[in-house]
């Protein structure tokens, strides 16, 4: 338990150091991040390397909320088939919501407590993007 707490503290400290000034979104997802901000969804961006060979990168957008956890994750895959396969896997995870694919990109939301209305709006913004 204390290792989990230590990991959480380190993760929060690292996320706290990220801001739009220090982290640039990959060019293809910048319009999505801009649309989120224009719709009042302010957060911090963290771009990470992939954790499997199907991906090119992971962009996590953490939304600041005092009493909740809200993270939007965008995964860029090497091709649409790999994106579809990974989307199907993510649909099996009941802790995620708003899973959707747009070309080679998959978005998932981690919102606790759940907020289906907010997730639906973010999902619509994601689907409206022309990534490629």
- Average pLDDT in the 51-61 region? 94
- Domains in the chain, number: 1
79 is a domain residue: yes
111 is a domain residue: yes
Domain that holds residue 14: 2-127
132 is a domain residue: no
Q: How far apart are CA 75 and CA 68, in angstroms?
A: 23
Provide the 8-state DSSP code for 78. Answer: S
Inter-residue contact 58 to 23 (CB < 8 Å): no
What pTM, to 2 d.p., does this model score? 0.79
Comparing CA positions, the residue from 63, 75, 72, 71 lying closest to residue 28 is 75
21 is a domain residue: yes
Q: How far apart are CA 132 and CA 130, in angstroms?
A: 6
pLDDT tens per residue across span 17-33: 444 444 567 999 999 99
Q: In Å, how far from its chain's centre is CA 61? A: 5
pLDDT tens per residue across span 92-130: 998 889 999 999 999 999 998 999 999 999 999 999 999
């Amino acid at each position: 338990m204390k290792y989990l707490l230590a990991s959480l503290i380190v993760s929060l400290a690292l996320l706290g150091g990220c801001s739009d000034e220090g982290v640039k979104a990959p060019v293809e997802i910048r319009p999505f991040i801009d649309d989120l901000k224009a719709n009042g969804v302010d957060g911090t961006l963290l771009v990470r390397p992939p954790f499997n060979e199907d991906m090119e990168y992971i962009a996590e957008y953490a939304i600041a909320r005092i009493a909740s956890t809200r993270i939007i994750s965008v995964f860029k895959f090497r091709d649409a088939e790999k994106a579809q396969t990974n989307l199907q896997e993510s649909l099996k995870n009941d802790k995620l919501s708003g899973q959707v694919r747009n070309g080679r990109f998959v978005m998932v939301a981690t919102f606790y407590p759940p907020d289906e209305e907010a997730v639906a709006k973010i999902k619509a913004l994601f689907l409206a993007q022309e990534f490629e």
